[in-house]
A and B are shown apart, each in its own frame.
Chain A
Amino acid sequence: GESVGLHLPTLSVQEGDNSIINCAYSNSASDYFIWYKQESGKGPQFIIDIRSNMDKRQGQRVTVLLNKTVKHLSLQIAATQPGDSAVYFCAENIEGGSYIPTFGRGTSLIVHP
């Protein structure tokens, strides 16, 4: 379940497993979504994006699924590696809006060797 206060939701997996990170977005008008990865001590880095006219998009080892009905995104990482350990943020945006995305709280992914 999701933590409150200072603690991020955390997902712990074994190396080689598949990881699924979930994100609920807030604005039903949002039509563009991005996943970012933030390693310790660094700025966020773009992973993959998806527009609302799609429900799935695949990248290298990552897949993003979008369910607009329940306002839910997920990021699937195949064959998770220790280098995938990071905080993952989803961000939502409205094309035609300010084009500055709104970020979620993030999920900490810990990969055990």
Chain B
Amino acid sequence: NAGVTQTPKFQVLKTGQSMTLQCAQDMNHEYMSWYRQDPGMGLRLIHYSVGAGITDQGEVPNGYNVSRSTTEDFPLRLLSAAPSQTSVYFCASSLAPGRGVYEQYFGPGTRLTVT
């Protein structure tokens, strides 16, 4: 299993540009989520999904969109990039509750710089 994969690893955008961060998992996990991590901060939840077709907002959703058309994929879209979105983005997946373990598996991250 590849686990959780993210592309690209690095990206530089100009203010106002849009892009999609890709996330895929091959563990048949129901739950997927996106976090951003800024220097000296913990992980802040952007959006999450409890299954295909179902998404919900996290702590910092503004400026980001998500969709979940398949169990495997959970892309994060930046609609109009702003310098405040410069961060490292992590995608994570986990089994649904009731299956005993709530461990999240994280991808390697995408380092985004907006100039």
Contacts and interface: CB of A to CB of B under 8 A. Distances in A.
Interface of A: 3, 5-8, 32, 34, 41-46, 49, 89, 93, 95-96, 98-106
A43 B90 contact: yes
Contact of A100 (B33, B101, B103, B109): B33
Nearest to B109: A43
B12 to A, nearest CB: 18
Interface of A is mostly: loop
B71 to A, nearest CB: 16
A44 B103 contact: no
Contacts of B106: 43-45
A95 B40 contact: no
Contact of B103 (A49, A95, A96, A106): A49
8 contacts: A6-B40, A32-B102, A34-B103, A44-B43, A46-B105, A99-B50, A102-B45, A103-B44
B48 interface: yes
Looking at B35, B104, B108, B109, the one whose CB has the most chain A CB atoms below 10 A away is B104
Nearest to A5: B40
Given A43-B109, A46-B103, A100-B33, 18 more contacts: A32-B102, A41-B109, A43-B106, A43-B107, A43-B108, A44-B90, A46-B105, A89-B42, A95-B97, A99-B50, A99-B97, A99-B102, A101-B104, A103-B44, A104-B42, A105-B40, A105-B41, A105-B42
B40 A8 contact: yes
A26 B107 CA distance: 27
Contacts, number: 62
A99 B44 CA distance: 15
Nearest to B9: A41
Contacts of A106: 42
Nearest to B40: A6
A44 B20 CA distance: 22
Interface string B35-71: 1000111111100101000001010000000000000
B74 interface: no
Given A42-B108, A42-B109, A7 B40 contact: yes
